[in-house]
Amino acid sequence: MKQTVFSGIRSSGELHLGNYIGAIKSFLELQKDHNCIFMVVDYHGITTPFNPKEIKQSILNVALDYLAAGINPEKSILAIQSDVPKHLELSWIFSAITPVATLQRIPTFKEKIKQHPDYVNLGLLSYPVLMAADILIYKAAIVPVGEDQLPHIEMTNEIAKRFNGRFGKTFPNVKAKLSDGAKIMSLSDPAKKMSKSHGHKTYIALNDSPQIIKEKLKKAVTDIGTTGKMTPATKNLFLLLEILGKKEHYQEFLAEHRKGTIKYSKLKKVLAEDIADYFAPFRTRRKELSARPDYVKKVLSEGAEKARAIARETMKEVKEKVGLVL
Ligand code: ATP
Ligand code: MG
């Protein structure tokens, strides 16, 4: 029997190289031989500041990015989280067995409240509980994610264990699947991960034009001179070149770095061209798809229907086990 895979992306902006390398690249591998469910997690998207006039477009944009990157709706379920309200029902039951103190210790919660001190809401605190419900409602075995999500997967397993212990074995143990570039750093601050919500100058979007990619990389932080050792900023650019660039370019620049003859302006130029080439088919497909919004909506609505059918079964079992049935 094929294993089930679940993962989600917040509708908080355009997808960037971190999302692609850390998550989507694994999705494409896994969809070949697993039952995959990928979602635009819009309920998570509203836990940080958002504009109600823009959210619809953001949801559609993430769906377009998924499809243009190669998520195949014939093979995988692609849906919007809020179209499957049973996630919230399960999340409520989980929240009743989850200690508040453990949620307050989650690093992403601490980061987000630092980023938005005027926006410390309950949804942000219970984010990992909803994420546990997102995953466990499909009894997923594998969750491909970036490194920043590992504490959430740990939390998912804790919640599953607590539920199973109290109400009987219901949920499987979940495995996080990390890719080779599980933490791509910001272009402007190599101490922070690349994020949709940190502003468009700090990331390269999958849909950026070759010119924009060139301009953004030109301003990216690098070392001054060569000391032989790579700083995190340079390491990040080399990682991008290794994963997205032409093999010979990576070897050439690595050798130049070792010799101390590297010119970062040249590295950035070549890297920009390689990234632009890598995503050329993506840009074409995305343009085609954005001219067909009805097709995208149809994919999402069919995906939601399939997801609801699975979620309904799990909730039936959960309510029976918890004793919430007459
Ligand atoms: P936001 O700033 O709104 O939280 P984000 O860029 O962190 O946006 P998410 O929607 O939270 O994106 O995450 C989607 C997926 O991409 C997750 O699996 C996450 O771990 C992964 N991911 C996000 N940023 C990176 C990164 N810099 N490197 C590798 N993986 C990443
Ligand atoms: Mg995030």
Is 39 close to ligand 1, i.e. is its CB under 6 Å away? no
Taking 80 as the threshold, does the pLDDT of residue 223 lie above it? no
Q: Across residues 294-313, what is the average pLDDT?
A: 98
Helix, strand counts (H, E) of the chain: 16, 5
Q: Across residues 17-31, what is the average pLDDT?
A: 98
Is 18 close to ligand 1, i.e. is its CB under 6 Å away? yes
38 CA from centroid of ligand 1 (Å): 14
pTM here is: 0.96
Q: Which of 263, 280, 287, 289 is nearest to 210 (CA)?
A: 280
Burial class (CB in 10 A: 0-12, 13-18, 19+), 109: buried
Give the pLDDT band (50/70/90) at residue 222: confident
Cβ atoms of 275 and 250 within 8 Å: the answer is no
Q: Across residues 91-96, what is the average pLDDT?
A: 98
Ligand 1 closest atom vs CA 146: 20
Q: What is the pLDDT of residue 84?
A: 98
147 CA from centroid of ligand 2 (Å): 10
Which amino acid residue places its CA nearest to atom 6 of ligand 1?
195
CA distances from 260 to 181, 221, 235, 249 (A): 25, 18, 15, 16
Q: What is the pLDDT of residues 105-142, one digit of tens each?
A: 999 899 888 989 999 999 999 999 999 999 999 999 99
Q: What is the pLDDT of residues 267-290, one digit of tens each?
A: 999 999 999 999 999 999 999 999
From 86, 112, 216, 268, active-site residue:
112
